[in-house]
Structure 1
């Protein structure tokens, strides 16, 4: 499972422009980019290596050398897109110094990312969902990330902070996969008011001595 230190290492690498060996591999990048589009088209549960290979324009041998099983491709896809999501959120809150403002900015950045991400847009439009294991991984990573942001770099999140972070992560994931009409997810000003009036008080209580 993803630890907080490992998660923050991933986010730091992503936001600084450092690439892993896999992301530096052009063929791997093409495969994962194609997998994103294929998952957006048919759903994550229905993608096949063969369809991704055709969409990516690489050979079957190239694909199977990297991902011997379909599950390996799906796992790599979910991990990369999770890293990208967290990096986008980290960018969105980089300028915020108040822990309460960080959660607001994290929420807004997460929604903005979901608006343009093919897989997340499909989830919002069709109600399709990730597997239980993938959802658990996303929640763990998101909760750990939010807890670190609330507590501040170098500080160990308290139990109350971890609870609030878990609530925030679950709320964000639910709202992304099934966007409400109120607040309007297309209106950043309304999102900000929602975050400040609903999420900020929770964070304030968790961080008040």
Structure 2
């Protein structure tokens, strides 16, 4: 992708919300993630997580309340980790437009290839889909507001279209969500070239100033 412009790069995780706490908190999340991938969400119990983490069951319940809250915490932390990795990969970009388009490709590919999502979409789609479409509004809201903030920075630099930033951010997020959850088609998150071709053909003209 072109890097001819010299506007500030698009950062994706400078002010991520803190989902982690102390080491015990992280051990619970690590255990939950591992068990959800290995056994699925439906079969994994809070007791299983406590045993795997080497932490008392009462402690797990005190920190997360129930399995639903634990699932949401695990997903939120994985989103944060994913955004942090994307930010590192964008450091070489000097054009906000190029960085935004690259972020779309990386986010789409990364979400589709995540082992937790891949496992659950294959084995328990009826269980995971509500979390990804209805039960995690805080993730979508944060992502939209954060992405809109970065779009406004690019607009001020004259590198992005002046279309409403929040609408542009939500459009990108909904496109990514659709591609990840319905991957079969001409544009497939399993095929990087098709995602890049779509990004260059349709998103670049739409987002360019």
TM-score, length-scaled by structure 1: 0.72
Measured in 1, the distance between the counterparts of 2:149 and 2:47 equals 40
Q: Which has the higher contact order (CA 8 A, sep 6+)?
A: 2
1:54-73 equivalence runs, <5 A: 54-73=51-70
Match of 1:86 in 2: 83
1:1-209 equivalence runs, <5 A: 11-12=13-14, 22-23=20-21, 25-41=22-38, 43-44=40-41, 47-126=44-123, 127=125, 128-131=128-131, 132-152=133-153, 160-204=164-208, 208=209
Q: Is the 8 A contact 1:86 1:142 kept in 2?
A: no
Instruction: Detail structure 1 runs of 4+ shifted over 4 Å in the superposition.
Output: 41-47
Q: RMSD between aligned alpha carbons?
A: 3.4
For the pair shown, the structure with the greater C-alpha radius of gyration is 2
Measured in 2, the distance between the counterparts of 1:139 and 1:95 equals 27
Query: Which structure is higher in helix share?
Result: 1
Unaligned runs of 5+ in 1: 1-9
Label 1:165 to 1:99 Cα distance change in 2 as closer, same or farther (>3 A).
same
TM-score, length-scaled by structure 2: 0.72
Q: Tell me how far 1:55 sits from its aligned partner.
A: 3.2
Q: Tell me how far 1:150 sits from its aligned partner.
A: 2.3
Deviations 1:161-181 (A, max 9, x none): 221111100111221222234
Q: Tell me how far 1:120 sits from its aligned partner.
A: 1.8
Measured in 2, the distance between the counterparts of 1:177 and 1:36 equals 20
Match of 2:3 in 1: none
Deviations 1:36-74 (A, max 9, x none): 233335554664312222333332133234223334323
